[in-house]
Amino acid sequence: MQVSAYAKDCPSRQILDRIGDTWSVLIVVMLADGAHRYTELAKRIQGVSPKMLTQTLRGLERDGLITRTVHPVVPPRVDYALTELGHSLYGLVEGLEKWAETHIDDVQAARVEYDALRRKGRNRRLCGG
Amino acid sequence: MQVSAYAKDCPSRQILDRIGDTWSVLIVVMLADGAHRYTELAKRIQGVSPKMLTQTLRGLERDGLITRTVHPVVPPRVDYALTELGHSLYGLVEGLEKWAETHIDDVQAARVEYDALRRKGRNRRLCGG
DNA sequence: CAGTATCCGTAACGATACTG
DNA sequence: CAGTATCGTTACGGATACTG
């Protein structure tokens, strides 16, 4: 088996990149229960800058995961909503959440144990003169 | 609903980060069919530097996803293998691959369409025609 | 063989000021 | 309201030389 990190035509990698992106996932989750306006997203997704919000929304729109609807009114109103494809992706994210909730305790325990052993090892070396 | 990107205690985010990491996924995939040595991984995972390989392996080990077995021989021999938890994560990754293979065509098509409209300047999707 | 240590460029991201 | 433009930082990752 030979794997390449640079296989950009690899479907899995593209989806992985999307899912690994913090803002993308948060937006998809936000839109899962219905359409939202730009400012709503900005307010409810804590810590996102207008730059990142716009950039992420554009990416999601380009991938066919969300729609962007401009209402020709003043002041402007723009709604974002999941497409069918976006809903499908959300299903995937839900699966991930389920796995995470099920296994996070194991991961946490492993980390504690690993860190404890690391500390012990270091102390031993220091005291072992 | 209020979502925060900085909820580090959020299980989903931790798993998402792990899955979004290129090298982590590649390593898990490589180890799915059995244990491998450091150099084997280095050779078969194209483009990975020793720095990133070690760093990623440590992270996976810390999270209890892989084991690191040092054989006390000369020259050194170190084997890496998936834990049960690691295999479980691999199952998740397989699910992602399946989704990706199923839907990548839709994504690709959406991108082509989006880019085409952008070029034409008809990128604005107006409500009510 | 299996790493570690170091240097370094870049690109991602945050903050903020501005605009149609 | 819904963005865009610009700047500055920083942290991530690549390359490589070195070591037990």
- Structure confidence by residue, pLDDT tens digits, A61-120: 999 999 999 999 999 999 999 999 999 999 999 999 999 999 999 999 999 999 998 877
Q: CA of A108: which chain B residue's CA is closest? A: B63
Sign of the alpha-carbon dihedral angle for B70, B71, B73, B78: negative
Q: CA of A118: which chain B residue's CA is closest? A: B62
> Residue B24, CB half-sphere, CA atoms under 13 Å: how many?
25
Contact A30/B1 with Cβ under 8 angstroms?
Answer: yes
pLDDT for A16 beyond 70 = yes
Residues of chain B with pLDDT under 70: 1-9, 121-129
Distance from the Cα of A99 to chain B's closest Cα (Å) equals 8
Looking at this protein, which amino acid is placed at residue A82? L
> Residue A73, CB half-sphere, CA atoms under 13 Å: how many?
8
Question: Whole-model pTM?
Answer: 0.91
pLDDT value at residue A119: 77
**Radius of gyration of the CA atoms of chain B, in A:** 20
For residue A3, what pLDDT band results from cuts at 50, 70 and 90? low
* Mean per-residue pLDDT, A42-59: 96
pLDDT value at residue A122: 54
For residue A126, what pLDDT band results from cuts at 50, 70 and 90? very low
Contact A20/A65 with Cβ under 8 angstroms?
Answer: no
Sequence-separated (6 or more) residues with CB below 8 Å from residue A61 = A67, A68, B114
Element (H, E) at B51: helix B50-62
Between CA A94 and CA B11 the distance in angstroms is: 12
Which residues are paired to A81 by β-bridges? A67
- Considering all nucleic acid strands, name the nucleotide whose C1' atom is nearest to the C-alpha of residue B50: C3
For residue A129, what pLDDT band results from cuts at 50, 70 and 90? very low
CA–CA distances in Å: residue A92 to residues A30, A105, B4, B98, B118? 15, 21, 20, 10, 29
Is there a contact between B126 and A72 if contact means CB atoms under 8 Å apart? yes
Is the minimum CB–CB distance between B98 and chain A shorter than 8 Å? no
